[in-house]
Structure formats: C-alpha cells, structure tokens
Amino acid sequence: MTELATESPISMYEMKEELGKIKKRDGELSIRSQKVEEYINHFVKITPEQGSKLKKKLEDLNIPRLKDIHIAKIIDILPSTLEELRAVLQGYTITVSQDNMKKIVEAVKSVN
C-alpha cells in the first residue's frame, strides 16, 4: 500500500516545530533546511502554544471563505490593525466583512 502525499499550508511556527523534529531525528539539517531555520528564527514571533491557540480561535470564528492558507498567513504576519489585515488578505481573492475582520484582529491581539 502506498502513502499519498498531501499538501496543506502551515504557518512558520509549525515549520519551526517540524524542523526541530527533523534536526532531532537526523542530528543536523541540510544546507537548505539550515537557511529556512535561520529565516524562521528571525521572523517567528510567537510560541507554538500561542500559535496553536490562535489557529484554534481563528478556525472557531467560522468566517465564510477563510481557508487554512489565509489562517496560516494571518498567524505568520500577526496583523494588529484592520489596515494590516487588509494588506495581508489583499493578495488573495477573498472578501471578508468589516465585522469579521474586527473579530480576526481581536483574536490576534488576544494571543500576544
């Protein structure tokens, strides 16, 4: 029986956890993985616990059309204002109501 690979978006804090597991398993990372780890260590602003908590909060908001890829990007950027959130979502073909955007920003603020 063969295992099918699936593709799903993950945030940077989740990538940091995965790299930690690989490093523990293999003893060291490849050159490319080391570069990714260096980048992530520089930009990840939250702990895995905070990231998991925020992801759960965002999913529980049940905002229409907000998918995993959007949630991962929100967790990576941590927008603290409506303008920052608009800038994050501007790259996607998604419309989110003003009320829902306020809920997202409040969820992000509650984790920090």
**Which two three-digit tokens encode residue 84?**
């920052």
Other C-beta atoms lying within 10 Å of the C-beta of residue 72: 21
Q: Are residues 62 and 87 in the same domain?
A: yes
Provide the domain count of the chain: 2
**What confidence category does residue 6 fall into, taking pLDDT thresholds of 50, 70 and 90?**
confident
Q: Which pLDDT tens digit goes with each residue over 13-65? A: 999 999 999 999 999 999 999 999 999 999 888 888 999 999 999 999 999 99
Q: Are residues 37 and 81 in the same domain?
A: no
Please name which of 12, 17, 3 lies closest in space to residue 45, comparing C-alpha atoms.
12
Owning domain of residue 37 = 12-43
- pLDDT of 7 higher than 90: no
Please name which of 56, 98, 46 lies closest in space to residue 77, comparing C-alpha atoms.
46
Judge contact between 19 and 48, C-beta under 8 A: no
Residue 97, phi then psi, degrees to nearest 5: -65, 160
Q: Are residues 37 and 56 in the same domain?
A: no
Q: Are residues 64 and 102 in the same domain?
A: yes
